[in-house]
Amino acid sequence: MLNDLLILGIPKKLVQLISMTMAGSKATVRVDNQYTSTFPITNGARQGDALSSVLFDLVLRAILQKMNITGHIGTKSTQTLPYTDNVAIMSRSKNALKDTLFNIEKEARRRGLLVNENKTKYMRVARVVHNDEHLRCGQYKFAL
């Protein structure tokens, strides 16, 4: 994640400050009104941390920049539309959509991010009515 910030041009001093705020983080979890033992957080930001959404957006931007899928749907077969912790993928074909999702998922997984299959939906816009109820993309099956 910190490397992604440097690639995006975030000043090294700021990246070091972010790293320092994340170092040594600990947490505890409440289960049935009882707290677990304290444990170290070794990956990512603390849940609820003010920086977590900003860092997520920056890492997502780095993923999309690395894939070089900028442009618009008029000149490319696929366009991504990221917003906070969501990404809409518009595509001219099902195969282009699957390829883009595969590439985004691969880069996200390298950074410890996962696709939430239960929250992911797809919408088909076509002149011909299709009876597809699901879209299969690799290991995922997304509902209409």
- DSSP track, 66-89: HHT--S-TTTSSEEEEEETTEEEE
* 10 vs 125, more confident: 10
* Closest to 89 (Cα-Cα) out of 77, 99, 78: 78
Highest mean pLDDT among 14-23, 30-39, 60-69, 79-88: 30-39
Region 21-33: mean pLDDT is 84
Alpha helices in the chain (DSSP H): 2-7, 12-22, 52-67, 94-110
pLDDT (0 to 100) of residue 56:
83
- One-letter identity of residue 118: N
What is the model's pLDDT at position 100?
A: 86
| Whole-number pLDDT of residue 73 | 64
Give pLDDT tens digits for 35-76: 999 988 777 676 677 788 888 888 888 888 877 665 666 667
Task: Report d(CA 77, CA 97) in Å as an integer.
Answer: 9
CA dist., res. 108 & res. 23, Å (int): 22
Q: What is the pLDDT of residues 112-139, one digit of tens each?
A: 888 888 888 777 777 776 666 677 787 8
CA distance 97 to 105: 12
Residue 78: pLDDT over 70 = yes
Taking residues 86-112, report their average pLDDT: 85
Buried b (16+ CB within 10 A) or exposed e, 95-124: eebbebbebbbebbeebebebeeeebebee
Here the tokens at position 90 are 């518009």
Better pLDDT: 107 or 47? 107
The pLDDT assigned to 7 comes to: 87
- Please list, in sequence order, all residues whose beta carbon lies within 8 angstroms of the beta carbon of residue 66, skipping any fewer than 6 positions away: 107
Q: What is the token pair recorded at 70?
A: 């900028």
Report the pLDDT value the prediction gives residue 122, as an integer from 0 to 100: 77
pTM above 0.75, yes or no: no
Q: Residue 144 and residue 135: Cα distance in Å, rounded?
A: 8
